[in-house]
Amino acid sequence: MLTFPFSLREFCEVFTYPTREVILLRIAMNIHQGKQLGKSELFTILLILHSFSVNQVLSLMCLSCHASIQPRHCHSISYCADDEVCFVERVESVYGVRFNTGCLQRPVCEEQNKTLHIHGNSDGNLGPPTCTECCDTDLCNAKGCGQPGYPRLSERGPVCLACSQLFDNQECRQITHCRDSELCFIKEESEFGDKVYSSGCMPFQ
């Protein structure tokens, strides 16, 4: 058994969408909470670590959806460019209030009294935005414009990448919300001589 100075669930969610700052913060916040990990849990951690490159670690991850009922119900993501931040935009539609999310250049987000509709809309079902808010941490646009974000991690399972049979795990643009008894996994396997990756939720054993 090995002891690690952080919660295993928080560790695995961090490495689902890691940034250097988030990793250091999570470890610092949990430095006093030593956890006993078995071999299978350690293998899961090492596999997650192995599956991430430096570029992915340094990219800001944002929810990226059009006309969601709430920002936090968006299950698609984008990795932002260096000069971009996450945004959430509230719009009126023929079906009621909807929300757009994604990446946006920082100077645009900093404009006051913005009236430009971020996403073009060809069917005319969406009106101009009534609120636009921006932030600069991973998946921070799960909340904004008066909408709640994800529950606290102690009240839910981790948010994990959720893709199948990709040549590069960095191509994954989908997430899922796991049960509180589950952890994230990233699996590398060989198929017809090709190395492919899958990701999702796995039971915590």
Q: What is the mean pLDDT of residues 132-151?
A: 94
Report phi then psi at 117, rounded to 5.
-80, 120
**Where residue 93 sits, what CATH number does that domain have?**
2.10.60.10
Q: What is the mean pLDDT of residues 36-55?
A: 49
**Of 7-21, 56-70, 114-128, highest mean pLDDT:** 56-70
Residues 70, 129 within the same domain: yes
Residues 31, 72 within the same domain: no
Q: What is the mean pLDDT of residues 94-117?
A: 78
**Of 7-16, 41-50, 133-142, highest mean pLDDT:** 133-142
Query: The tokens of 96 are what?
Result: 């009621």
How many folded domains does the chain comprise? 2
Residues 123, 190 within the same domain: no
- Check residue 24 and give its pLDDT: 31
Q: Residue 23: is its pLDDT beyond 50?
A: no
**Where is the domain boundary, 122, 142, 162?**
142
4 exposed, middle or buried (CB, 10 Å; 0-12, 13-18, 19+)? middle
Residues 133, 165 within the same domain: no
Residues 167, 138 within the same domain: no
Residues 52, 82 within the same domain: no
pLDDT confidence band for 127 (50 / 70 / 90): low
Q: What is the mean pLDDT of residues 137-162?
A: 93
- The 10s digit of each residue's pLDDT in 76-94 is 999 999 999 999 999 988 8
Q: Which helix (H) or strand (E) holds 177?
A: strand 175-177
**Where is the domain boundary, 97, 117, 142?**
142
**Where is the domain boundary, 125, 142, 159?**
142
* CA gap 133, 148 in Å, rounded: 13
Residues 103, 164 within the same domain: no
Dihedral of CA atoms 137, 164, 200, 71 in degrees, nearest 10, equals 40
Residues 81, 98 within the same domain: yes
- Check residue 53 and give its pLDDT: 40
Range of the domain at 135: 61-142
pLDDT confidence band for 28 (50 / 70 / 90): very low
**Strand locations in 61-163, DSSP E?**
61-63, 77-79, 84-93, 96-105, 126-135, 159-161
- Check residue 35 and give its pLDDT: 46
Residues 113, 173 within the same domain: no
pLDDT confidence band for 5 (50 / 70 / 90): very low
- Check residue 58 and give its pLDDT: 61
What is the pTM (predicted TM-score) of this model? 0.68
* CA gap 68, 65 in Å, rounded: 6
Encoded amino acid at 61, one letter: M
What DSSP line would sit under 11-29, residue for residue?
A: HHHHTTS--HHHHHHHHHH
Residues 67, 128 within the same domain: yes
